[in-house]
Structure 1
Amino acid sequence: MITLYFDAARHVTSGLSAAGAVMIINKQQKQLKTRIRMTKDNHEAEFYGLIWALQQLPNTTDMLQIYSDSQIVIDALHKNYAKHYQPLVDIIMSLLASHTIVLSQWIPEKSNLGAHNLALQALKNSHAR
């Protein structure tokens, strides 16, 4: 089983965005962070953050648990639909297709601080350049 916590951060004026992820695979934790593309809003950054995080997973069919403090992303995963972000939802669904079981759950920001702080670090590092 793979457990994935992810979050995105976005600089309001510049549009620079970053993502952080905490992956737990076989009781081993990996912390990852990266700058992602310029985004038009925080919701778009969250979708791109999940796409990036899923691309970091090992090529496996293991059960996947996804946790996020982004309600719109979790709702989109449950419905396979997001009105203004459907192309991104389609990419996410294709990335999830190899997993036998995918569970996703919204969590409050205070429960997602690991991924949140990684995203903020990546954003700060990319903004300093």
Structure 2
Amino acid sequence: MYTDAATQPQSGLSAGGILIIHDHEQTQLKTSLTATNNHAAEFEIARLGFQRLADMLGDDCATTTVLFYTDSQIVNDSLTKHYAKHYQSLVDDLLAAQAPFQLVLTQWVPEKQNQGAHTLANQALHSAEEAK
């Protein structure tokens, strides 16, 4: 699973993209977010991604290993430490969303390796800006 968020600092609008690859099939999701800054948006879209994956898998979560890719250094570091000074409630929410899975392996990737989720996030952000 790949996630990415996009935020327009002037308007405070945020959106995110989720790319799930499961059984050789892609699921692409994009959505507006409630977060008003990029760090919070990265946590929010990651949480939504795990919730969506759990909905897709149902009871199979308990036997599923998830490879989670993010280009957000703070999300990656916070999951490793189970701590983020200014975002602890978001870290806790994300860890709770990961709990149903047997194992979650988080990997930081450069933005250029996260283009699928990045493109979805930007498409959703543009749609939110046009709707405003």
Q: Which moved more, 1:21-30 or 1:113-122?
A: 21-30
Distance (Å, rounded) in 2 between the aligned partners of 1:99 and 1:56: 12
Asked whether 1:44 is paired with 2:40, we answer: yes
The letter for the 2-side match of 1:16 is L
Query: Which blocks of at least 5 consecutive residues in structure 2 are unaligned?
Result: none
What is the RMSD computed on CA atoms of the aligned residues?
Answer: 0.9
Residue in structure 2 matched with residue 65 of structure 1 by the alignment: 67
Residue in structure 1 matched with residue 7 of structure 2 by the alignment: 10
Asked whether 1:31 is paired with 2:33, we answer: no
Q: Which whole-Å deviations, capped at 9, do the CAs of 1:15-68 have from their partners, x for residues lacking one?
A: 1100001101111111110011141x2111111111121121123221111001
CA contact (8 A) 2:15 2:124 kept: yes
Please report the TM-score for the alignment, with normalisation by the length of structure 2: 0.91
Distance (Å, rounded) in 2 between the aligned partners of 1:107 and 1:8: 14
**Which has a greater percent of helix?**
2
Residue in structure 1 matched with residue 86 of structure 2 by the alignment: 84
| Secondary structure class of the residue paired with 1:99 | coil
Distance (Å, rounded) in 2 between the aligned partners of 1:63 and 1:127: 36
Distance (Å, rounded) in 1 between the aligned partners of 2:129 and 2:87: 25
Distance (Å, rounded) in 2 between the aligned partners of 1:38 and 1:106: 21
Asked whether 1:121 is paired with 2:123, we answer: yes
Distance (Å, rounded) in 2 between the aligned partners of 1:31 and 1:38: 20
Residue in structure 2 matched with residue 74 of structure 1 by the alignment: 76
| Secondary structure class of the residue paired with 1:56 | helix
- Note closer, same or farther for the CA distance 1:84–1:35 as it changes in structure 2 (3 Å cut): same
Distance (Å, rounded) in 1 between the aligned partners of 2:129 and 2:66: 32
Q: Which moved more, 1:48-57 or 1:71-80?
A: 48-57
Query: Which blocks of at least 5 consecutive residues in structure 1 are unaligned?
Result: none
